[in-house]
Amino acid sequence: MKLTLTIDPTVTETTVTIIAPKVNSEVRAIQALETDSLGRIIGTRGSDATVLDVRKVLAFFTKNKAVYARTANGDWRIKQRMYELESSLAASDFARISQSEIVNISAIENLDLSLTGTITVHLKDGSKFFVARRHLSTFKKKLGF
């Protein structure tokens, strides 16, 4: 891939033009940068509320029909739905592993590959999630195996 950067102080808005023979992983990664509109989200826990940096979220999951963001500081309830998170998170950073869970790929400590073909994802905070069979092939492709 070639990259050309032109700095022009007279320009008021940054413009990115992509010229490619087809849509490939590089083009999708660039598109994900533009569509990653969830830089920060509001998380609540009891009477506390905080602004969460999405890049520091380890995982998103549902419990009792509510969506939570797991961080190093614990679990925070958020207002976004899982489908909204999936469509707006950077595809290169997050992976949907089940109907109710999305994990941050950079927060993965290790993977436990069982003989039955299932994968257990261990995160850096010690929590673990299971990859559903429906999402197994997509998850493997995203990680490159």
Handedness of CA 116, 97, 62, 112 (dihedral sign): positive
Helix (H) or strand (E) holding 142: helix 133-143
Is the model's pLDDT at 70 over the cut of 90?
yes
Edge to edge, what strands does the sheet with 66-71 contain?
A: 48-53, 40-45, 74-78, 66-71, 59-63, 101-104, 94-98
Q: Check: pTM over 0.75? Answer yes or no.
A: no
What lies within 8 Å, CB to CB, of 109 at 6+ separation is 122, 123, 124
| Tens digit of each residue's pLDDT (9 = 90 or more) over 84-127 | 888 888 777 899 999 999 999 999 999 998 878 789 999 999 99
User: Tokens standing for 132?
Assistant: 């559903």
Dihedral Cα 69, 71, 76, 80, nearest 10 deg: -30
Q: What is the CA radius of gyration of the chain?
A: 18
Distance (Å, whole) CA 58 – CA 108: 8
Per-residue pLDDT at 95? 92
Residue found under tokens 């195996």 = 145
Which domains can be identified in the chain, with CATH numbers?
25-106 (2.40.50.40)
Q: Give one DSSP letter per residue of 3-69, joined into a string.
A: ------TT-SS-------SS--HHHHHHHHHHH---SEEEEEETTEEEEEEGGG--EEEEETTEEEE
* 86 close to 135: Cβ distance less than 8 angstroms: no
| Tens digit of each residue's pLDDT (9 = 90 or more) over 37-63 | 556 789 999 999 999 988 899 999 999
